[in-house]
Structure 1
Amino acid sequence: MRIAAIILTLLVCLPLHYAWKAARARSPWPRRFLGAVGRIAGMKVEVRGTPLPSHVLYAANHLSWLDIMLIAGASGAAFVSRDDVERWPVIGWLAGLNDTVFVDRSDRRAVHGQAQTLRGALARGQPVALFPEGTTDGGTSILPFRASLFESLFPPLPGIRVQPVAIDYGAAATDIAWVGKESAGANVRRVLSRHGTVPVILDFRPPLDPAAAPDRKALAQAARSEILSVLHPSEAAADRL
């Protein structure tokens, strides 16, 4: 039933999206579709804090493919994703509709060009989100943030901020997390087969100014500390010692 509802929602949103694009207007329909998918999947979102509307790079912890739906629905952000997702059937096409920035993390020679692509999107005012852990394998723990993913912010662009986002699935986090060797299809089936709703908190933390950080490593650590302060306060306190 949930899969049918998602397909029906897509069929409604897709022609409206192309109509907006034909009129050369910024389309709200990817955001509305992704937010609807999160609700159809049973996620009941509470937003805390205020998402910056533009010129912002959201940095969030990463547990599930649902993270994309929830952040996009709350903020309208495009995403930074590994390049192989672009080749996934249907998913890669849908990601492209939402202006996803695809990066090849295995090719060091391509990193600079990809950083410039992301830098250009931020300079145009497009809100962009990334998951600096680079994987969901940490589960409910928060892995170190990859400083290389913040390269696009150095040298700092005027007016650009980094806003950490703590995603809290509460008691359902362990069950929802996509870890280990579970396939994408198996995880989607398992999550969509859950009964009832899951309360989820999206906590948009105070923005960070990249110009105030000495380098990208310090910026990555500061963003991670903000998220730890919400989800794992004792670990955040230990990091500050």
Structure 2
Amino acid sequence: MSTWEGDEGYPIPHKIGVMGALRALIRGLPLALLVFGCLALLLLLRMIEKPLFGLRRPWTPYITQFVCRNAFRLLGIRFATEGTPIRDQGAVVANHASWLDIFALNAPQQVYFVSKAEVANWPGIGWLARATGTLFIRRDRREARAHKELFEDRLRAGHQLLFFPEGTSSDSLRVLPFKTTLFQAFFDPNLKEDMIIQPVTVRYHAPKGAEPRFYGWWGDMEFGPHLLSTLAAKRQGAVTLTYHAPLKVADFADRKALARAAENLVRAGLETSM
């Protein structure tokens, strides 16, 4: 599993005092009740939804959106969007900076993440990912045909797929080069003519006075301490999603040209905020 380490080291962790622990409790307990309470409801509803609709999910995505929108309210993190999310058949690509990306990108629209296979086995995050319909794949060119078939099945079911072409997360201050493998699936004759890809820039704004990489989660940083640090923050920052104009797959010669165009838009969206 490849991860990005960077060359600046990790932010120096701050000690969480009594007040920080209290803030973590005040934010964390309602957040846990929201996430796991709604997860239980989703799983119960899915027992009815799956036999009736198969891959299609006409009900449960609304639960996911409700959780993600309210998670930021409970955390105290300001959330904003720019541009308009696509509503037609298509896919979304975004830069990857934090575990918070999952909440941010699910809040405005109903999307289904495409994730590396290892995530399915992660405690907590893996359970949530499976329950919300994440598509798990291996990033291997030899499995391009299998990916194409999986993508076709999901798209026919009305799913909007979302993946992170960087292949790993960064420190939230940069966009890593996009890997092109997954873009190839959209050039299949059954998809190419009608398929659109919408690039999205995820921008985090650290709390005033905090390390600029405060919300970044990358390399071998552990989830638990990062979550606790976020919950315990005296002040919170913000996250902004910028939805760029969709790209028509048929307008590009190959996957490399499409990936380059998407990367340029995502990178420009991040750089304009700095």
Normalised-by-shorter TM-score class: 0.7 to 0.9
Q: Does 1:213 align with 2:238?
A: no
Residue by residue over 1:87-106, the C-alpha shift from the partner in whole angstroms, topping out at 9 and shown as x without a partner, is: 1123212111111011122x
Q: Does 1:84 align with 2:118?
A: yes
Q: Which residue of the partner structure matches residue 13 of structure 1?
A: 38
Alignment of structure 1 residues 38-53 onto 2, 5 Å: 38-53=72-87
Q: Does 1:120 align with 2:153?
A: yes
Deviation at 1:43, TM superposition (A): 2.4
Alignment of structure 1 residues 184-203 onto 2, 5 Å: 184-203=223-242
134, 144, 152: which one aligns with 2:167: 134
Residues 43 and 56 of structure 1: CA distance in aligned 2, closer, same or farther (over 3 Å): farther
Q: Which residue of the partner structure matches residue 17 of structure 2?
A: none
Q: Does 1:165 align with 2:190?
A: no
* CA–CA separation in structure 2 for the residues paired with 1:30 and 1:171: 25
Contact 1:104 1:111 in 2 (8 A): no
- TM-score w.r.t. structure 2 length? 0.77
Residues 136 and 15 of structure 1: CA distance in aligned 2, closer, same or farther (over 3 Å): closer
Deviation at 1:71, TM superposition (A): 0.5
Residues 138 and 155 of structure 1: CA distance in aligned 2, closer, same or farther (over 3 Å): farther
Residues 127 and 81 of structure 1: CA distance in aligned 2, closer, same or farther (over 3 Å): same
Deviation at 1:11, TM superposition (A): 4.4
One-letter amino acid of the structure 1 residue matched with residue 186 of structure 2: L
Q: Which runs of 5+ in 2 are unaligned?
A: 1-24, 53-57
Q: Does 1:57 align with 2:84?
A: no
Write out the 4+ residue segments of structure 1 that deviate beyond 4 Å after TM superposition.
none
One-letter amino acid of the structure 1 residue matched with residue 204 of structure 2: Y
One-letter amino acid of the structure 2 residue matched with residue 14 of structure 1: L
Contact 1:164 1:226 in 2 (8 A): yes
One-letter amino acid of the structure 2 residue matched with residue 219 of structure 1: L
Contact 2:206 2:238 in 1 (8 A): no
* CA–CA separation in structure 2 for the residues paired with 1:195 and 1:77: 32
Deviation at 1:110, TM superposition (A): 3.2
Q: Secondary structure at the match of 1:165?
A: strand
* CA–CA separation in structure 2 for the residues paired with 1:120 and 1:138: 34
Q: Which has the higher helix share?
A: 1
Residues 85 and 148 of structure 1: CA distance in aligned 2, closer, same or farther (over 3 Å): same
* CA–CA separation in structure 1 for the residues paired with 2:213 and 2:63: 31
Alignment of structure 1 residues 72-111 onto 2, 5 Å: 72-105=106-139, 107-111=140-144
Identity %: 32
Q: Secondary structure at the match of 2:115?
A: strand
Q: Secondary structure at the match of 1:181?
A: coil
* CA–CA separation in structure 2 for the residues paired with 1:97 and 1:37: 17
Residue by residue over 1:48-71, the C-alpha shift from the partner in whole angstroms, topping out at 9 and shown as x without a partner, is: 111012412111111101011100
Contact 1:54 1:126 in 2 (8 A): no
50, 61, 67: which one aligns with 2:101: 67
Q: Which runs of 5+ in 1 are unaligned?
A: 235-241
Residues 205 and 108 of structure 1: CA distance in aligned 2, closer, same or farther (over 3 Å): closer
Contact 1:103 1:111 in 2 (8 A): no
Residue by residue over 1:86-131, the C-alpha shift from the partner in whole angstroms, topping out at 9 and shown as x without a partner, is: 01123212111111011122x5443431332123212332111111
Deviation at 1:163, TM superposition (A): 0.4
Residue by residue over 1:173-223, the C-alpha shift from the partner in whole angstroms, topping out at 9 and shown as x without a partner, is: 511111333122222222222233322211100000011010011111100
* Matched residues, number: 234
Q: Secondary structure at the match of 2:194?
A: coil
Residues 94 and 231 of structure 1: CA distance in aligned 2, closer, same or farther (over 3 Å): same
Instruction: State the structure with more CA Rg.
Output: 2
Deviation at 1:79, TM superposition (A): 0.3
